């Protein structure tokens, strides 16, 4: 029962459900409602002295704990693949809350990498910094493909369809419009490029990379998760146009890793504003994109700072997505 677990998450907090430190403590909740320290409370960067850095992504700082990883979602935001120097208040906490929710929501479909969080090994100050934005996970062997599922025709899939009538080798009916809902969701994997953009691959290519059995499992599980989650989100006014999953193996078991169904790993659209036939506004990043598109910036680093009103509007959209999906009033 997803609704039950949402309410438990919301009212009794993370500690009881997963043992994650400080999730939804009173202070954090007030901040989420925008009452205290909204603009000041931004974590752009973490530098945990006692831990070894595993990787700094565009948004997350990941620390190596031997057989585990500590994934810390900062308030960094990227646009056009470039990290913006301004942070978005609460973004890291929202990404973490959403991932935790969806991992729980999808447990009946597949296991995931989460382990109950205890940060007692960190000094008090660092624990406070991580409040609500950390996940402790099993270190898995990542399967080096991005498992993309698309329910709507957008982005690189729209481009590929226009020139070839198919997406990742999947033939689609003629005459589809941009952003149109597909007859059924499709699985369009891509390679995980170390540098540059990921490259779409066909299912045959995926089979060559990971083997036929695992390829089938990845497709089946990805489509199942998408169907369950997109149905849930749509009832709350959010269209999940497409999303990306990552999987890993741990002692032979396939599990979901990374983040799950966040605005950073998915395209969220507002159901009310949805209008096929054109590019859709992004639920969360549109203010940032519109602002940056209005500047004479060539979309290469360094990116410009965002003005306070763009930061606030964007933070509001992230909060709205989170509140809708987690049934917070
Ligand atoms: N449980 C796990 N075990 C091992 N590796 C993991 C696990 N969870 C996530 N990862 C890996 O950690 C990395 C996270 O990096 P991150 O997503 O922050 O940066 P990125 O993918 O390089 O860039 P971007 O910021 O665009 O997402 C990914 O390579 C992901 O596959
Ligand atoms: Mg990533």
What would the mean pLDDT of 265-275 be, rounded to a whole number?
98
What would the mean pLDDT of 147-173 be, rounded to a whole number?
96
| H helix or E strand, kind and range, residue 250 | strand 238-250
- Ligand 1 atom 16: residue of nearest CA: 57
CA dihedral 192, 197, 202, 203 (to 10 degrees): 20
Please name the residue ranges forming H helices in 143-285.
155-164, 203-210, 212-234
pLDDT tens string 95-109: 999 999 999 999 999
Provide the CATH topology of domain 2-139: Phosphorylase Kinase; domain 1 (3.30.200)
Model-level pTM? 0.89
Mutate to test the pocket of ligand 1, among 62, 115, 249, 259 (most ligand atoms within 8 A of CB): 62
The total number of residues written for the chain in this structure: 329
Helix axes 286-293, 308-325, angle to 10 degrees: 150
Ligand nearest, relative to CA of residue 258: 1
String of b and e for 173-205 (b: at least 16 CB within 10 Å)? Answer: eeebebbbebeebbbbbbbeeeeeeeebbebeb
String of b and e for 221-242 (b: at least 16 CB within 10 Å)? Answer: bbbbbbebbbebbeeebbbbbb
The confidence score (pLDDT) of residue 194 equals 74
Confidence of residue 24 (pLDDT cuts 50, 70, 90): very low
pLDDT tens string 175-227: 999 999 999 999 999 998 777 778 999 999 999 999 999 999 999 999 999 99
Whether residue 256 has its Cβ less than 6 Å from ligand 1: no
Asked if 2-139 and 142-283 have one fold, the answer is: no
Which atom of ligand 1 is nearest to 139's Cα? 3
In this prediction, what percent of the chain has a pLDDT beyond 70? Answer: 87
The confidence score (pLDDT) of residue 197 equals 76
Q: According to CATH, what is the number of the domain 142-283?
A: 3.30.470.20
The confidence score (pLDDT) of residue 40 equals 58
Whether the predicted pLDDT of 2 surpasses 60: no
pLDDT tens string 228-269: 999 999 999 999 999 999 999 999 999 999 999 999 999 999
What is the average pLDDT value for the chain, to the nearest integer? 89
- Left (φ > 0), alpha (ψ -120 to 50) or beta: where does 213 sit? alpha
In the chain, domain spans: 2-139, 142-283
What would the mean pLDDT of 108-118 be, rounded to a whole number?
96
Could you tell me the distance, in angstroms and rounded to a whole number, from the CA of residue 103 to the centre of ligand 1? 16
């Amino acid at each position: 029962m997803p609704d039950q677990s949402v309410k438990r998450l919301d009212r009794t907090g993370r500690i009881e459900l997963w043992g994650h430190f400080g999730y939804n403590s009173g202070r954090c909740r007030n901040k989420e409602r925008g009452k205290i320290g909204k603009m000041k409370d931004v974590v752009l960067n973490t530098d945990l002295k006692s831990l070894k850095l595993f990787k700094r992504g565009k948004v997350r700082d990941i620390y190596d704990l031997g057989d585990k990883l500590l994934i810390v979602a900062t308030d960094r935001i990227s646009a056009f693949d470039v990290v913006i120097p301004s942070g978005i208040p609460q973004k890291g906490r929202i990404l973490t809350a959403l991932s935790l929710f969806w991992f729980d929501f999808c447990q009946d479909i597949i296991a995931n990498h989460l382990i109950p969080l205890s940060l007692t090994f960190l000094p008090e100050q660092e624990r406070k910094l991580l409040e609500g934005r950390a996940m402790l996970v099993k270190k898995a062997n990542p399967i080096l493909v991005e498992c993309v599922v698309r329910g709507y025709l957008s982005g690189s899939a729209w481009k590929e369809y226009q020139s070839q009538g198919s997406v990742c080798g999947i033939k689609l009916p003629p005459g589809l419009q941009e952003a149109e809902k597909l007859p059924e969701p499709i699985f369009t994997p891509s390679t995980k490029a170390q540098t540059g953009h990921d490259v779409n691959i066909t299912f045959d290519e995926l089979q060559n990379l990971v083997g036929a059995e695992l390829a089938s499992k990845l497709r089946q599980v990805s489509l199942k998760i998408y169907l369950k989650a997109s149905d849930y989100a749509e009832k709350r006014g959010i269209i999940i146009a497409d999303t990306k999953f990552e999987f890993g193996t741990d002692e032979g078991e396939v599990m979901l890793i990374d983040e799950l169904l966040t605005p950073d790993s998915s395209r969220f659209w507002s159901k009310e504003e949805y209008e096929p036939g054109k590019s859709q506004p992004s639920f969360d990043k549109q203010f940032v994109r519109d602002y940056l598109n209005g500047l004479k910036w060539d979309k290469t680093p360094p990116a410009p700072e965002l003005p306070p009103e763009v930061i606030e509007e964007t933070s509001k959209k992230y909060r709205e997505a989170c509140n809708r999906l987690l049934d917070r009033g």
